[in-house]
Chain A
Amino acid sequence: MTTILELDSLTRVFGGLRAVDDVSTKVSEGELFGLIGPNGAGKTTLFNLISGFTPPSSGDVRFKGESITGLPVHKIAHRGMSRTFQNLRVFPNMTVFDNISVGALGMIGVSPFSALWGGRAKAREISERSWEMLEKVGLKEHADDLAANLSYGKRKYLEIARALAMKPDLLILDEPAAGMNDSETAELAQFITDLNKTGLTIMLVEHDMGLVMGICQRLVVLASGRKIADDVPAKVRQDPAVLEAYLGGDD
């Protein structure tokens, strides 16, 4: 299988703290891959290193065979990487439809000139893609509501739909199940699995073991910035180092 994302001894130091310490791994195309670890393990930092929000202190990120280390965030997005945010960042004062349209228009490209003259084909493409994504997450009847007025769970799906509107090759979800109850989490797990079945590579960054254990094909476990395990969930579950770090060692 071809490798889509490759991390090569990625390290990030904040002052004296090694938030991410020498992490290497590979993600294959079409994989549903999980990154887990207890609070403060460096998951979000690693994620920010991958998506370009934070530059690494050392090491390299290769996406589709090319190094993307040090590229600005918007250029990495154009290469086909799309992300959501841990603390749910939809555009609150824009409608649901307009939120999703931003995901689409970033990739399709708009300019002041296309707005004034001859941008009709682009506008049609953006509109159609936005409707398609609305349909996919079942928010069609909310298209004209302000994002701020949606329920928490629906805003989560809106954020995912906006990321999907970029038609990414790799989708990274940062703690999508945070703040959801069990039945909502189960529904989300099904949604993510279905997405993955369409051939999309997905990376899940999660704090909660339940979701990742159930659906991921492979897991990387971080503790104190270091990679302590990299295997299928069944093996990771029994790994003594993981149990020690993650569950406190008495399970």
Chain B
Amino acid sequence: MSKPLFIKLLLLVIVFAVVPFALEGLGKGYYYQIATLAFVFMLLAASLHLVTGVAGLLHLGHASLYGVGAYVAALLGSKYGIGFTYGLPLAGIGAAFVAFLVALPTMRLMSIYFAVATLGIGQMLFLVFQNWVDVTNGPNGVMLFDGIDLFGYAINSELGIYYVVAVVAAVSILILNRLSHSYYGNALRSLREDDQCTAAMGINVTVMKIQAFVISAFFAGIAGALWAYTTGYISPNDFNFSQSILILTMVVVGGLGSLPGVLIGALLLILLPEVLRYFGDIRNIIVGLLMFGAILFLPKGLFGEVNALNFARRILGSAWSEDNSEKGIGWK
């Protein structure tokens, strides 16, 4: 068996056999909740990674687009009886649509101004969730009683729900993986490096930025639907500024521009507070110190971009390898 195939199979076995087996053995809903939370945030971090890590646009309102997805899914489900099967893609499309509307005027802004604009968008959407009581039910949030219903099959067991969440998150992350590890990804990376220069290469910079922003929002919306359906209750505070910052921290601690790093960052920041539960409230300080240390000693992240691209090219076999005399360089 070739090395790339082995690594891929290993990851599949861990996600779809080892972890669910362990969760069944532990047999408590609590562990399933943590697993779901980890998948949702890995997807959120992976989607923010495309905009902030790869295309280099500092995005401070990602959680609000995650919120749009969650509200679309929860409201369609609770008010109109549109279940998970259609609610999931519609949540993604809803978030992508909102992102497209806000992207049109903001994408020409440079660096810090773009960051401030996304901050404003995040706050604006948060206030909509909070105050548009007729539709969003305001601070009371939305209850979603119907469970996950897949093409007419109700999925009730915790294990079944785990598999739905894991498959949706894994497929989404695979798509994001392909987008950032391809020549399209190279084009996005060149925007981050020098967008004027990229334009001189014949690339429509504004269109590329809007694409990245909208695709990222689509997957944030998907994560929102997963969250709404697995917790059964959402409220505005799930999507406030501190959540945006949490996702951004996952991306930065994991490694800007590094998808594997970002996934590790998300896992770490979700699992660490749970593992440290024994320490009581001090755990937040411990997590903060660890983050501080990580940035201080590993400014390029836990798994930096250079290593991540090597990993994607040579270990996962995404490199262009027509000429066998060359080591894996370029993209398939």
A residues at B contact (CB < 8 Å): 51, 53, 72-74, 77-78, 82-83, 85, 89, 91-95, 97-99, 101-103, 105-107, 110-112, 114-116, 119-120, 122-124, 126-127, 130-131, 143-144, 146, 162, 166
Contacts and interface: CB of A to CB of B under 8 A. Distances in A.
Contact of B200 (A73, A95, A144): A73
B327 interface: yes
A165 to B, nearest CB: 8
Contacts of B202: 74, 77-78, 106-107, 166
Nearest to A78: B202
B184 A91 contact: no
A127 B201 contact: no
B201 A166 contact: yes
Given A73-B199, A74-B204, A146-B306, A119 B182 contact: yes
Contact of B187 (A78, A92, A102, A130): A102
A183 B312 CA distance: 41
Given A93-B192, A93-B193, 14 more contacts: A74-B200, A74-B205, A77-B199, A82-B200, A91-B193, A94-B186, A94-B189, A98-B189, A102-B186, A102-B190, A116-B178, A116-B179, A119-B182, A143-B329
17 contacts: A73-B199, A78-B202, A85-B200, A91-B194, A93-B193, A102-B190, A102-B201, A105-B187, A107-B202, A110-B183, A115-B184, A116-B175, A124-B322, A127-B320, A127-B322, A146-B306, A166-B201
A107 B329 CA distance: 20
Contacts of A111: 184, 211
Contacts of A78: 202
A126 B190 CA distance: 15
A72 B330 CA distance: 29
Contacts of B305: 93
B329 A97 contact: yes
B196 interface: yes
A111 B179 CA distance: 9
B301 to A, nearest CB: 13
Interface residues of B, number: 39
A83 B200 CA distance: 7
Which interface residue of B184, B197, B202 has the most chain A CB atoms within 10 A? Answer: B202
B261 interface: no
Contacts of A127: 320, 322, 330-331
A149 to B, nearest CB: 10
Contacts of A105: 183, 186-187, 201, 203
Contacts of B306: 146
Contacts of B185: 115
A95 B306 CA distance: 9
What 8 pairs across the A-B complex have the smallest Cβ distances?
Answer: A77-B202, A106-B202, A91-B193, A115-B184, A106-B201, A115-B182, A73-B199, A127-B330
A52 to B, nearest CB: 9
B320 A103 contact: no
A99 B193 CA distance: 10
A78 B131 CA distance: 48
A77 B183 contact: no
Interface string B292-332: 00000000000001100100000000001011001101111
Which interface residue of A93, A99, A111 has the most chain B CB atoms within 10 A? Answer: A93
Contacts of B194: 89, 91
Contacts of B322: 124, 127
